Amino acid sequence: MQKLIKTIFLTVLFAMAMTSCKNEGSVQTYFVEHQDLPDYKSIDISANIVDFSKADLTEEQKETISSLEKFNVLLYRSKQEDLEKYKSEFAKAKAIFKNEKHNELMEFNTDGAKFRVSSIGSDEAVDEILILASSSKIGFGLVRILGDEMNPEKMIALIDKLQKADVDDNQLEGIMDFFK
């Protein structure tokens, strides 16, 4: 009897381990699987890339900034001679956003580029914001913004302040060079 209980217990533990490790459709899995492929470039950017010292920030805005931890960026460069491959790779990236954990925040087009923004977490306390930007002319990029209890509404309010902030261009050079 003891052997049967032990076997059942170990089987349940094994099943739980196998299902909890399954990360189908996760952004992290997608990044790991694609970061070393030839047409991709992976960049990790510190949340300190933007210097807000010249911007007049309220305490609430400073708190919002401190909730940011880092940005993971994965870029795919489109080649005009191989648009079918671009479409295939882009379809894989879009599939991530169908994960039921993702809450769609917005989707918009501007200057020939399409953007999709989603989050993981509750409306008041987001732990991850995902952005998919695409243009068949240059490629697509996935941005994963990691933080601790970020508030999307407060972050959107900071966009105006970004115009008055200093951005460390050295960290952005890799992104711009990749699409040249």
pLDDT along the chain (180 residues), means of 10: 43 38 66 90 82 74 83 88 87 86 85 87 82 88 87 70 58 54
Question: What 3-state class would DSSP assign to 176?
Answer: helix
* 137 touches 112 (CB < 8 A): yes
* 126 touches 120 (CB < 8 A): yes
Question: What 3-state class would DSSP assign to 40?
Answer: strand
> What's the pTM value of the predicted model, to 2 decimals?
0.71
Q: What CA–CA distance (Å, rounded) separates 105 from 152?
A: 9
